[in-house]
Every structure is written in C-alpha cells, then in structure tokens.
Amino acid sequence: MLNRIVQIGVGVLLLLLVACESAPPPKKVPPKEDLIQYNQQMAKKEGHQIEKYIERRGWDMTATGTGLYYRIYQRGQGTETAKAGQHALVNFKVSLLDGSVVYSSKEKGAQEFLIERDDVESGLHEGIKYMHIGDKATLILPSHRAHGLLGDRNKIPPRSTVIYDLELLELR
C-alpha cells in the first residue's frame, strides 16, 4: 500500500513538472521609460501629420504650447473674449484628418458648454478662449487634447486628431 502511495506521489510530481515546463512564459511588461518614449514618438508623428494637413490647405494657423492649432477665419462683431466660467453656445462640425465628419450641430443643433468646467475636449476649452462672439474658427486638437488613447468609443477612433469648425454664437 505504501509503495502504491509513493508511485502516485511521484506520478503527480512528474505531471506537475511537465505542466510547468509547457506553460508559456509570463508576458513581459515594458519598462515605464519605453512607454514614455513610445508615446513621445507617437506625439511627434501626430504633430508632423497635423503640420502637413495645415500645409496642404495653405492655412495660417497659430500653435499654442499645448499642441492646439487655431485660426480665426471670420471675425464677428463681439468684443468680449470667452472666459472660464462662462457658458458658450456654439455651432460646430467635428471631423478627422481624413476629412470624415463625425459630429455636427446640423444633426444635434447648437451646443452649450461651461468653459473650463464641462466634460468636453480640453482643446475645445482652450481654443474657445481665443474667440469673440460671432467669430468662426478652425481648431485642430491633437489626440492628447481631444479624446486621447481611447477615442470617444463611438465615432472617434483611438489617438485621433480632431478638427473643429466652430462658430461662437453666444456667451453668458
């Protein structure tokens, strides 16, 4: 009987050894520095794509320190600049670098948001503050100022540059 228990124990040990040897090695997580470097490379590549997009259209745009590009292509009659804490009412068209329109106020109507407070793209909060009532502008938001690594999980893919054609209708 004891001999039988020893045989079973040895068999179990052999099975465990074979199972452990055939298991796939654990996935290696890249070092934090590698991820930072990769994201920096992707941001640089996106910046070049944005610059080429602007160049192809012959636009004169202003770049901010955050990566946002903007141009006011039609001045309105307003004298007040949009400020944090104000409600902004806008007409808009949102598109991607390939030209596809993903959202528009033609479908949804003019939209209102609270500057620096509501949950809209951080690049939109920044860009609106360069505008006066009645201004029409183009804002180009790099992905980190738009919907980031995940997109909006609807129409905007991950890591997408977003282009706003924007008209500031009202501030209150």
Domains of the chain: residue spans and CATH:
88-172 (3.10.50.40)
By three-state DSSP, how is residue 123 classified?
helix
Q: Residue 86 and residue 103: Cα distance in Å, rounded?
A: 23
Query: pTM (2 decimals)?
Result: 0.80
Pairwise CA distance, residues 105 & 89, whole Å: 11
Q: How far apart are the first and last CA of the chain?
A: 90
For all residues of the chain together, what is the average pLDDT? 90
pLDDT at 30: 75
Helix (H, G, I), strand (E, B) or coil at 61: coil
Can you tell me the mean pLDDT for 98-115?
Answer: 96
Least confident window among 17-21, 35-39, 43-47 = 17-21
